[in-house]
Amino acid sequence: MSDLVLRSLTAGESALFASLPVAEKLGRALLGQEFALLDAGGEYRPEWSWVALRDGVVVARAAWWAKPGDTEPVALDWFDFADGERSAAVELLRAAPLSAEYALILPPGWRERPGVRAAYEARAAAVEAAGMRKLVERYRYTWTAGEDPLPARTGRLVYRPEPDDAAFRAVMARIMTGTLDAHDRLMLDEHGLDAALDETLGVLDWMPSPNDWRRVAYTPDGEVVGVHIPAENPSMPCIGFIAVVPEQRGHGYSYDLLVECSHDLVDRGATRIAAATDQPNFPMARNFARAGYPITQERVDFV
């Protein structure tokens, strides 16, 4: 084989990145998105978009993303390579001076589709060879007004804003005990409670929606039940966070929180709502099904 050239893009090279033919559309391509650099009206910075070239032909590509103003990437959005070029893809990931979680988006039931499954396995093997590891599989949901039902509010709980950041953080700290969320458990195990809170609250602060949308839920007697956080990610309204404190678990309150969060977003004009949960979080997956949220994609997270 001829020598491999590994480099970032320069302005005007969106078409070069897009020139790699891909048999199975996974990741951002599955969402109907096309790659484009900032100078072409896209979201990707040339210095964060890398290609592996053999004889001038793209054989592997990777692009990292962050919203405007961020100084570090928050996600590896694009990662593809030609047949027989897995080693080039691994070299590309190792050569690029960038690091972020890789969330590989897949169609529902992807394991039953041989071509998609093979494409997933190839990418998974490459990112793992480059030093990443699989953390968790997730369901992605999209609720759409006019297509999906909006369940009635249950009326079991009382919801209030909590403007005191320290008080809100204290409730979030209680929620971390026994959490089923794989990302939270990873941070708790490796860095402790404060780091886990900093990461979760940092993601919520990073979203463009205001903090005063956040709500703490109480029983009619005034006991704290949990929180729900309607939010907006950079592309659409979303269920930002839902959780119940340990002593209130087992009463089905997470469903109440999901329904209330959905209504809050619709009341603010949302016609589509994105959401996600870890697949091993069976109680929350059941709540999404009960609330009328269809699974629109699956996702595998590598860290």
Comparing 33-37, 104-108, 218-222, 232-236, which segment has the lowest mean pLDDT? 232-236
Neighbouring C-beta atoms of residue 94, cutoff 10 Å: 12
Share of the chain above pLDDT 90, in %: 94
What are 4-26's pLDDT values in tens digits?
999 999 999 999 999 999 888 89
Task: Give the pLDDT score at 1.
Answer: 62
Beta strands in the chain (DSSP E): 4-8, 49-54, 57-65, 75-81, 102-106, 134-144, 158-160, 215-218, 224-232, 237-244, 272-278, 295-302
3-state SS string for 196-208 = HHHHHHHHHHHCC
Task: Give the pLDDT score at 136.
Answer: 98
Residue 2 pLDDT > 80: no
Mean residue pLDDT across the chain: 96
What are 23-69's pLDDT values in tens digits?
888 999 998 899 999 999 999 999 999 999 999 999 999 999 998 98
Nearest-CA neighbor of 286 among 103, 139, 106?
Answer: 139
Structural domains in the chain, CATH included, are 4-132 (3.40.630), 158-297 (3.40.630.30)
Of the pLDDT bands very low, low, confident and very high (cuts 50, 70, 90), residue 243 is very high
Of the pLDDT bands very low, low, confident and very high (cuts 50, 70, 90), residue 235 is confident
